[in-house]
Structure 1
């Protein structure tokens, strides 16, 4: 089981993702040859500037370099266009006319559909009416399509992502100066664990958030396994945190040698979490919700409350929080500062999880993300993402339960996404 782990401690952008995968050792020549079949009609050109030799309308520059003491790959895309505002259909047309595989084309188109929906929510427009501004520029098209080309070359079985450092401050874009994360990025980040650290810059771009949404099956710390390789995609911004995306390719651990079938891969995933818990009998119940929300916002795997009876028959609450090792101190601080408790119990817990991944699926209501759970090669169930159903229910007025049943019916009709 080959797993790609994305460590987004300094955020993620499209070009950092491409650079990190190439630094992992993927064939640059093969990548560039595939990308030359993606030809992007340019907008206006500056007089006297030269096109890409292939006639693709852009150039991809891959450079081995050292930045702030760290070696890696710096990847940039240049073109001569004056930033035309492409629509979804324009981008789909460019993708369809390329010589790339059906799989790469379909995933790239699905990604731009998700992006159009995220942009559309910001401006109150349906996806087909959205003009992409920055994201419709040549470099963004190359970043998104290039990511699926490289993923097809790498063929990992799953992608796991760390919580995302989104950064802070403001960014100047087509609609003026806006706070980080930018509105479209914020829509794409729904359901993902995020935090903000380091100097105030935009660390997760719309393209970066989109790729994580499309590729990552779940979030957390690096899984157990044998390291097969690692790569660094260098960012261009100055930062107090080293500005690169680190990717690690792992061969996930097989069953122990003394197991009956040592060569057989386990049908589920094992990992370790930290359980923090405390008993509280003297706090206003209204204060639990904000504490729980803050714990989820840093990427807690789960947070829950249990009713208990303490000494002298006092009713009380046990607050429980399951986090990864890297989130432990942050979670402890949130609980100790946000509640009336004076201390926490801490224990390590072994977890057994089904392998699962999320696949966007086209339904009559638009694109819906489907979460599939697997036991080895057997698909146990497929469920539409709650956040997607909630959004569609709000837009259409269809009750959530009816909507879910209809989407499930469509999944069955199509086999599986």
Structure 2
């Protein structure tokens, strides 16, 4: 289970997010190739690895061919277009641009959702109907590239889940094309009314740290706000630098985390679990698969589907989860969030389980986690699949060969 964790100690913006993902290893040339499917021009992407506060990270930017400064204003409505403002786009123009592209359906869905989220907020703040909103900042070329590029980078990164820390914003005011705006800027404040997102202000920073684009990305991809879990293995760390001079270290730090059952250390042989069940007959297979991934990522011990025949002879699916008693309420809420279920059933169970412990060995100079399961005289040794797969790929070996050699090496 691979998770992207956002450590937003200095806020969040589109260029910081893209810089951080590129720093993790997403190839900027792959992003450029996908962005060409939008059929827009007039920009160049740059990604320079530099040091700030003696820490290396990636400084990402969208450089406009016109040489114009990026406009960090907000919106204007149609009447104002006749008074010299022509460089933005309306929401429906942006949606059509994305829909008519050859981008993947996943990228299209996420990018359009982010633009619509920001558009609703701008419409509310400026008391303008949504179809009359003229995007002045987020509709500008650099912001289209930031948002669509971020969705492309997420697809290229290929993580199973995204989590985030409490997001830090600054205080005071910023000057934009339409005047002076308080921090958090009005669009960000409005976007925060739709979902509970933990944001704190750093009174020592007198500028904006959390942008509408950055918050839109967070709302679209982040499933949970929490601290780093000590049971997560940190695989990679990346930094994306911000452009504002805050007087502090202005960066978004991101982690690739991996969680496996090698973190579960079971010393007893009996415990109690709760089985959660629900019948579903109006949800697509793709959506159900996505729901299962989310449930397993958030603590379900097991999850599986069984085809069933429901009333009026309708085919349906029974979802069954096994969860710890303390996770019952959390997983129930997620069932309602990610499925079309209207109710769930609970069955408490006593279990007999094998004791489990974990060790690490080295094979071909690569670490391998070993799961040791035992019950009375029965003992079972299982090398971790992902570790064995990585070795098999690197040395062009069959998976069975790697498993057998590791077991022999462990048993000595």
Q: Is TM (by shorter chain) over 0.5?
A: yes
Go from structure 1 to structure 2 and tell me whether the alpha carbon gap of 1:22 and 1:382 turns closer, same or farther (over 3 Å shift). Answer: farther
Q: Which residue of 1 aligns with 2:197?
A: 192
Q: Which residue of 2 aligns with 1:79?
A: 64
Q: Is the 8 A contact 1:269 1:354 kept in 2?
A: no
Report deviation, 1:269: 3.6
Give, in whole Å, the separation in 1 of the partners of 2:240 and 2:326: 31
Go from structure 1 to structure 2 and tell me whether the alpha carbon gap of 1:213 and 1:353 turns closer, same or farther (over 3 Å shift). Answer: farther
Give, in whole Å, the separation in 1 of the partners of 2:341 and 2:163: 20
Which is higher, the Rg of structure 1 or of structure 2? 2
Q: Give 3-state SS (helix, strand or coil) of 2:216's partner.
A: helix
Q: Is the 8 A contact 2:17 2:252 kept in 1?
A: yes
Among 92, 103, 113, the alignment partner of 1:89 is 92
Q: Which residue of 2 aligns with 1:30?
A: 30
Give, in whole Å, the separation in 1 of the partners of 2:342 and 2:19: 33
Among 123, 140, 144, the alignment partner of 1:141 is 144
Go from structure 1 to structure 2 and tell me whether the alpha carbon gap of 1:354 and 1:242 turns closer, same or farther (over 3 Å shift). Answer: farther
Q: Give 3-state SS (helix, strand or coil) of 2:37's partner.
A: coil
Q: Which residue of 1 aligns with 2:6?
A: 6
Q: Is the 8 A contact 1:268 1:354 kept in 2?
A: no
Give, in whole Å, the separation in 1 of the partners of 2:120 and 2:182: 20
Report deviation, 1:354: 7.4
Report deviation, 1:92: 1.4
Q: Which residue of 1 aligns with 2:327?
A: 352
Go from structure 1 to structure 2 and tell me whether the alpha carbon gap of 1:225 and 1:132 turns closer, same or farther (over 3 Å shift). Answer: same
Go from structure 1 to structure 2 and tell me whether the alpha carbon gap of 1:159 and 1:381 turns closer, same or farther (over 3 Å shift). Answer: farther
1:189-268 matched pairs, under 5 angstroms: 189-190=192-193, 191-197=196-202, 198-223=204-229, 224-254=231-261, 256=264, 258=266, 267=296
Report deviation, 1:240: 3.2
Report deviation, 1:58: 1.0
Q: Give 3-state SS (helix, strand or coil) of 1:240's partner.
A: coil
Report deviation, 1:189: 2.3
Among 39, 49, 53, the alignment partner of 1:68 is 53
Go from structure 1 to structure 2 and tell me whether the alpha carbon gap of 1:187 and 1:248 turns closer, same or farther (over 3 Å shift). Answer: same
Q: Is the 8 A contact 2:44 2:65 kept in 1?
A: no
Q: Which runs of 4+ in 1 moved over 6 A?
A: 353-356
Among 87, 98, 101, the alignment partner of 1:98 is 101
Residue correspondences, number: 271
Go from structure 1 to structure 2 and tell me whether the alpha carbon gap of 1:94 and 1:268 turns closer, same or farther (over 3 Å shift). Answer: closer
Give, in whole Å, the separation in 1 of the partners of 2:209 and 2:191: 14
Q: Give 3-state SS (helix, strand or coil) of 1:125's partner.
A: coil
Among 28, 44, 47, the alignment partner of 1:59 is 44
Go from structure 1 to structure 2 and tell me whether the alpha carbon gap of 1:355 and 1:246 turns closer, same or farther (over 3 Å shift). Answer: farther
Q: Is the 8 A contact 2:34 2:103 kept in 1?
A: yes
Q: Give 3-state SS (helix, strand or coil) of 1:229's partner.
A: strand
Post-superposition Cα deviations, 1:343-400, rounded to whole Å, max 9, x if no partner, equal xxxxxxx9637787xxxxxxxxxxxxxx97249xx948489xxxxxxxxxxxxxxxxx
Among 182, 186, 193, the alignment partner of 2:185 is 182
Report deviation, 1:85: 2.2
Q: TM-score, normalised by structure 2?
A: 0.60
Q: Is the 8 A contact 1:267 1:355 kept in 2?
A: no
Go from structure 1 to structure 2 and tell me whether the alpha carbon gap of 1:351 and 1:11 turns closer, same or farther (over 3 Å shift). Answer: farther
Give, in whole Å, the separation in 2 of the partners of 1:35 and 1:381: 38
Report deviation, 1:258: 4.2
Unaligned runs of 5+ residues in structure 2 are 72-86, 270-292, 300-324, 344-412
Give, in whole Å, the separation in 1 of the partners of 2:152 and 2:328: 29
Q: Is the 8 A contact 2:170 2:208 kept in 1?
A: yes
Give, in whole Å, the separation in 1 of the partners of 2:333 and 2:142: 32
Give, in whole Å, the separation in 2 of the partners of 1:17 and 1:355: 29
